[in-house]
Amino acid sequence: MNAAWLPLTALATSLLVVVIIFALPEDARRLRTTINLAAAMVKIILVTLMVRRVAAGHEDIFSFQVIGGVDFVLRSDALGVMFAGLSSLLWLCTTIYAIGYLEGSANRKRFFGFFSLCVASTIGIALADNLFTFLIFYEMLTLSTYPLVVHNGTQQALDAGRVYLRYTLSAGVVLLLGTVLLYSLTGDQSFSSEEGLGDYLNDHRGLLTLIFALLVGGLAVKTAMVPLHGWLPRAMVAPAPVSALLHAVAVVKAGAFGILRVVYDLFGIELSVELGVITALAVAASFTIIYGSLRAIAQEELKPRLAFSTVSQVSYVILGIGLFGPFGTVGALAHLLHQGLMKVTLFFCAGNYAEELGIHRIDEMDGAGKRMPLTSIAFTIGAFGMIGLPPVAGFITKWYLGVGAIQAEMYWVVAVLVASSTLNAMYFLPIVHRLWFRSGPAHGKGSWPKEQRLGRFETHSWLLLPMVFTALVSLGAGLFAGLPFSPLDWAARVANGEYLP
Amino acid sequence: MIWRFGLFDSTFEPLLSTHWALLVALGLPLMLGMLAALFPPKRAWPVVLASVPVLASGLMLLSAYDQAGLLRWHWDIAGVQLSLRLNGLSVLLLLMTQVIGVAAAIYTPGYLRLSETGPLARWLWPLMGVVLSALSLIWLATDLLTLYAGLELMGLAAVGMLMLSGKVAALVAGMRYLLLALMGSLTYLLGVALILGHWGRLDLQGLAEVVEPGPVAWFAAALIGAGLALKAALFPLHAWLTPVHENAWTPVSALHAALVIKASLFILLQLWSILLPDTFYAPRVIAWLGMLAIVWGGLLAWRTDSLKTLVASSTVGQLGYLMVAFPLLLGPDIAPLPRALAWEGFWLQLMGHAFAKAAMFMAAGNLILATGESTLKGLAGTSRRLPLSLLVFGIASITLMGLPPSSGFTAKWMLLQAMVISQQWWAVAALLTGTLLTAAYIFRMFRYCFDETAPRHRYQPLAPGMDLIALTLALIAFALGLLAHFPLELMHGGSP
């Protein structure tokens, strides 16, 4: 039984919220908040339903014809609902956080409108079943994030917005060219088709390689792979909830997810290996991992350090693809979720430090653990996860990637992993050390840059709750990785589908 | 190729009600315009009421086509054959004209009330009526004489409308436009005279049967092409366009950029597909000029400081998209698939641009009216104060940039696919460059709007509905992207 309404409603809840928010007046704050949160809840319920149906073996399809030979198709498959689940869960968290963060500031209607549009785009990306549909939502994501990046309207924000558009729109054009070339060669290719593009290998090897390069090159900009990462650190001027969303699920992950789709569902892993593009991908990813970490060490402010950490971490997903074995794939897919959870926690923490204490630089963080214990614990969990220490989720990923590398006999990848973990420790542990073991303003030494007492607890409770929640989930995803429906379990299910047809 | 324009015999006679619908579609805009000159409407609602029968006539013609396929009308008046046809394409273009015309008309009372327009304002109505009636005639006409009549009526009325604001700059620009338009008509007429003298026929269908390639056809096509290219502001004959729009009233600009110049392009393609069905070079020349148009129009829009110039220059670039598709529509040895794709992409692009450009002119007019500033710098801070106008501008510009899921994107997709299949890589490059250039000038404008550090202006409140009309048009352009199947299916039908 095909429940076509399910993927459609999951998409429509977010889109409808956009329309409602734009139609409401600016000062209808309570109503806007209520609708926004209600829709986020409904979305989680819908995605949960989808997950259950996919687990039971139903893949719901909604489609209609756009022009001859090109259809608009939404389909809930295992990989798609995985991303949709991350998106819907983090929509709720970031929305709650954003409501607390933007309290009393201007232009909130515009912010929440585009915020919801951004999330709607990610759901569309998750459920898109062919490249045409994917492209629609991918570009929608570009456009809807621009107003969020320039939200503050300062010179710096506007400049960052311009850089962001230069990168992403150019990438969009490259992606469009690749897509059109592919459609001209093969016609409409569903992500669900088992055949892949192997039939075209003999006659069109060069063209297929070109298409692969165009598609992955276009997607790599949003994935922030070196040297196409220049927009990401600059986009840090956006408000903290935007950064959190951008890094955890929206833009960066959309790129990585796109690459997963192209390699696994469009070209097929065998064809990609045959074309020899996979190794190139793994090398590029390794380079990005090391380079991002090195740049992160050099940053003296907290948010740019986290940004370069994202550059490095997202490429683990790509590296996992490059190992072309089941373990690498499981690692890549699990990291898509794990990194999202951990990074969103870290950005929430950074936002909390900035809001409550005015901390932007790392050397201002001395002793903040005493003043804001919950935030600092959450930060520590996130940081340990990024380094890959058990039992946080990040450990699982690195473990699977390492095993995958050994199985594929790519020992240099193990070296990359070790080096990267060391570098991660080098830029995260000093912060953790400052938080807990140095004495600062909380111990009566000096004063915080700009302290506000935002709430009864260590900060505003709308800022605190989502952060605590995501930190717990990151921890839980590592501790209970063996349980059914954990990120790892689901990643293994997807990988099984790819490798054992 | 010419069957696509519906130049073949019909199977069914039009019903009586269809005759009436045709009469209403052609005549009513004119009549209503005259009436409005006598009793100028001060509010939007009388205009809304008056537009109901106009739209109804378009829908009746649509359903008539849907049921009977191609319809034709012939009259023999004093030895001159006049003929009309209604095929899928002309129904679509007619509906587009009516919707945009009605939107411009509903927009007008509020606009005239808020801006100081002077005593000439009441004459806007009959001129608008003439333009809409003439446009409807052009989409339907299938003989050179009727086409010429429609073209001339439309051109003169358009000049009149553009000069109405009475400012010196407007008069200068308008006079220049008048001279060029007359020159264009004259050249066109010369071409027609050549055809009449050589083949002795004016009806397109008959002409298509007797035309043979040769110097006469080439020369006539060149004359007609030059005249119409001038009227359609095709690069490099576009210089008159920007000054005219700079000083015109908003609804006039919307009508002109969306519809009037498209009519000349429509006639051009139709006549060339008869005169030059298999010429290699002519469509390629147009395509090369189109590539330059995309770049040049984009650069003009990018460098300008005036909002209206930006919107007007973008038209030059957008017409380039249509021009680069010419070698896929005309010429020898075009495979059926790319030709069909290009044909559909061409008209979808034309329609999407018409709706989006009309919406954009209205949104720009609203912004200018509300802020009292016509420069981009004057827009600083509007994202907070005029979010709806800016949103309309944004939605319209998505279509112009050709980003999904707008009609601009779907059209570009089809054109690109056609170009890739027929391996016209230069054209592919031009289209993609155009996308980036368009994004560059659009976001340059948005950059000013999102500036929060700017000083606050006093804003004039807009009349109710002015933004909503523009929003409707922008949304139509947007929705045509994913719902492209329905209009395009109309164009499929009716092959002989």
Confidence of residue A1 (pLDDT cuts 50, 70, 90): low
Count of residues making up chain B: 496
Specify the residue for token string 């070196």. Answer: A226
Tally the C-alpha atoms within 13 A of residue B370's C-alpha that lie toward its C-beta.
26
DSSP string, A8-32: HHHHHHHHHHHHHHHHS-TT-HHHH
Higher local confidence (pLDDT), B410 or B404: B410
**Inter-chain contact B344–A67, Cβ cutoff 8 Å?**
yes
Please work out, in degrees rounded to the nearest 5, the angle formed at the alpha carbon of residue B109 by the alpha carbons of B106 and B115: 130
Instruction: Count CB atoms within 10 A of the CB of residue A104.
Output: 6
B interface test, pick of A108, A137, A184 with most B CB neighbours within 10 Å: A184
- The answer to whether the Cα torsion of A290, A293, A298, A303 is positive or negative is positive
A139 contact residues in B (CB cutoff 8 A)? 403-404, 409
The alpha carbon of residue A177 is apart from the nearest alpha carbon of chain B, in Å, by: 8
End-to-end alpha carbon distance in chain A: 22
Q: What is the mean pLDDT of residues A43-51?
A: 92
- A202 interfaces chain B, CB cutoff of 8 Å: no
Lowest mean pLDDT among A191-200, A473-482, B250-259: A191-200
The helix (H) or strand (E) run that includes residue B458 is none
Specify the residue for token string 């359903």. Answer: B63
Residue A437 lies in a domain: yes
A170 contact residues in B (CB cutoff 8 A)? 436
Q: What is the mean pLDDT of residues A37-56?
A: 92
Residue at A320: amino acid letter: G
**Average pLDDT for chain A:** 89
Residue A321 lies in a domain: yes
CA distances to A217, A314, A413, B355 from A227, rounded to whole Å, are: 11, 14, 20, 40
- Is residue B492 predicted with pLDDT exceeding 80? no
End-to-end alpha carbon distance in chain B: 12
Instruction: Estimate to the nearest angstrom the gap between the alpha carbon of A94 and the chain centroid.
Output: 13
User: Hey, what are A231's tokens?
Assistant: 């927009």
A window 4-33, beta carbon within 8 A of B:
22
**Which residues, including other chains, have CB under 8 Å from residue B157's CB and lie 6 or more apart?**
B127, B128, B130, B131, B134
pLDDT at B471: 94
Per the CB < 8 A criterion, the answer to whether B25 and B94 are in contact is yes
**Inter-chain contact B447–A161, Cβ cutoff 8 Å?**
yes
How far apart, in whole angstroms, are the C-alpha atoms of residue A66 and residue A73?
10
**Which residues, including other chains, have CB under 8 Å from residue A208's CB and lie 6 or more apart?**
A185, A197, A200, A201, A267, A271, A275
Residue A488 lies in a domain: yes
Could you report the per-residue pLDDT of B170-182, keeping only the tens digit for each? 889 889 999 999 9
**Which residues are registered as beta bridge partners of A203?**
none
* A173: nearest CB among B435, B481, B482: B435
Residue A292 lies in a domain: yes
**Which residues, including other chains, have CB under 8 Å from residue A202's CB and lie 6 or more apart?**
none
The alpha carbon of residue B392 is apart from the nearest alpha carbon of chain A, in Å, by: 12
Per the CB < 8 A criterion, the answer to whether B106 and B47 are in contact is yes
Residue A466 lies in a domain: yes
**Average pLDDT for chain B:** 90
**Inter-chain contact B482–A147, Cβ cutoff 8 Å?**
no
Output the furthest CA–CA distance in chain B (Å, rounded).
71
Residue-wise over B235-248: b if at least 16 C-beta within 10 A, else e? bebbebbbbbbbbb
Q: What are phi and psi of B292, to 5 degrees?
A: -60, -40
Residue at A322: amino acid letter: G
- The CA radius of gyration of chain A, in Å to the nearest whole number, is 22
Per the CB < 8 A criterion, the answer to whether B174 and B161 are in contact is no
pLDDT at B288: 95
When divided into structural domains, chain A yields a total of 1
**Closest-approach residue (CA) in chain B for A73:** B482
**Inter-chain contact B484–A177, Cβ cutoff 8 Å?**
no
**Inter-chain contact A184–B414, Cβ cutoff 8 Å?**
no
The alpha carbon of residue B412 is apart from the nearest alpha carbon of chain A, in Å, by: 10
A238 contact residues in B (CB cutoff 8 A)? none
**Inter-chain contact A66–B482, Cβ cutoff 8 Å?**
yes
**Closest-approach residue (CA) in chain A for B384:** A107
pLDDT at B496: 43
Residue A362 lies in a domain: yes
**Which residues, including other chains, have CB under 8 Å from residue A424's CB and lie 6 or more apart?**
A293, A309, A312, A386, A387, A388
Per the CB < 8 A criterion, the answer to whether A478 and A395 are in contact is yes
- The answer to whether the Cα torsion of A139, A143, A148, A153 is positive or negative is positive
Specify the residue for token string 């000349």. Answer: B264
**Inter-chain contact A136–B384, Cβ cutoff 8 Å?**
no
- Chain B interface residues facing chain A, Cβ-Cβ under 8 Å? 344, 383-384, 387, 391, 398, 403-405, 409-410, 413-414, 416-417, 420-421, 428, 432, 435-436, 439, 443, 446-447, 450-453, 481-482, 484-485, 488
**Closest-approach residue (CA) in chain A for B403:** A139
Q: What are phi and psi of B463, to 5 degrees?
A: -70, 150
The percentage of chain B sitting over the pLDDT mark of 70, rounded to a whole number, equals 98
Residue A116 lies in a domain: no
How far apart, in whole angstroms, are the C-alpha atoms of residue B204 and residue B269?
13
* B413: nearest CB among A72, A150, A180: A180
DSSP 8-state assignment for residue A361: B
Instruction: Count CB atoms within 10 A of the CB of residue A84.
Output: 25
Please work out, in degrees rounded to the nearest 5, the angle formed at the alpha carbon of residue B390 by the alpha carbons of B164 and A133: 120
Taking alpha carbons only, the member of B452, B57, B416 closest to residue A180 is B416
| ipTM, 2 dp | 0.91
User: Hey, what are B70's tokens?
Assistant: 């191609």
Taking alpha carbons only, the member of B267, B410, B496 closest to residue A70 is B410
B405 contact residues in A (CB cutoff 8 A)? 136, 140
Taking alpha carbons only, the member of A235, A104, A106 closest to residue A168 is A235
Lowest mean pLDDT among A58-67, A247-256, A324-333, A448-457: A448-457
Confidence of residue B493 (pLDDT cuts 50, 70, 90): low
Residue at B11: amino acid letter: T
Q: Which residue ranges make up each domain of chain B?
A: 287-496
How far apart, in whole angstroms, are the C-alpha atoms of residue A192 and residue B22?
50
* B421: nearest CB among A68, A140, A184: A184
User: Hey, what are A386's tokens?
Assistant: 């990024």
**Inter-chain contact B447–A147, Cβ cutoff 8 Å?**
no
- Is residue B364 predicted with pLDDT exceeding 50? yes
Q: What is the mean pLDDT of residues B378-407?
A: 88
* B420: nearest CB among A72, A173, A180: A180
pLDDT at A269: 84
pLDDT at A501: 47
**Which residues are registered as beta bridge partners of B74?**
B83
Per the CB < 8 A criterion, the answer to whether A90 and A32 are in contact is no
Q: What is the mean pLDDT of residues A225-234?
A: 88
Residue at A394: amino acid letter: G
How far apart, in whole angstroms, are the C-alpha atoms of residue A307 and residue A292?
9
Runs of H (alpha helix) within A438-486? 461-479
How far apart, in whole angstroms, are the C-alpha atoms of residue B137 and residue A330?
65
**Closest-approach residue (CA) in chain B for A164:** B443
pLDDT at B457: 67
User: Hey, what are B467's tokens?
Assistant: 């933004």
Taking alpha carbons only, the member of A132, A154, A159 closest to residue A66 is A132
Per the CB < 8 A criterion, the answer to whether B348 and B297 are in contact is no
- The answer to whether the Cα torsion of A461, A466, A470, A473 is positive or negative is positive
- The answer to whether the Cα torsion of B103, B353, A175, B489 is positive or negative is positive
Q: What is the mean pLDDT of residues A445-466?
A: 83
pLDDT at A426: 92
**Inter-chain contact B482–A169, Cβ cutoff 8 Å?**
no
B436 contact residues in A (CB cutoff 8 A)? 169-170, 173
**Inter-chain contact B482–A72, Cβ cutoff 8 Å?**
yes
- Is residue B353 predicted with pLDDT exceeding 90? yes
Per the CB < 8 A criterion, the answer to whether B122 and B37 are in contact is yes
Per the CB < 8 A criterion, the answer to whether B267 and B193 are in contact is no
**Closest-approach residue (CA) in chain A for B385:** A107
Q: What is the mean pLDDT of residues B220-230?
A: 93
Residue A465: give the domain boundaries: 287-501
B interface test, pick of A19, A27, A66 with most B CB neighbours within 10 Å: A66
Instruction: Estimate to the nearest angstrom the gap between the alpha carbon of A180 and the chain centroid.
Output: 26
pLDDT at A440: 83
Could you report the per-residue pLDDT of A337-351, keeping only the tens digit for each? 999 999 999 999 999
User: Hey, what are B379's tokens?
Assistant: 């827009």
User: Hey, what are A131's tokens?
Assistant: 């490249």
**Inter-chain contact B484–A67, Cβ cutoff 8 Å?**
yes
How far apart, in whole angstroms, are the C-alpha atoms of residue A14 and residue A119?
7
Residue A253 lies in a domain: no
**Which residues, including other chains, have CB under 8 Å from residue B3's CB and lie 6 or more apart?**
B495, B496
Tally the C-alpha atoms within 13 A of residue A198's C-alpha that lie toward its C-beta.
12
Could you report the per-residue pLDDT of A162-173, keeping only the tens digit for each? 999 999 999 999
* A173: nearest CB among B405, B432, B481: B432
pTM summary value: 0.94
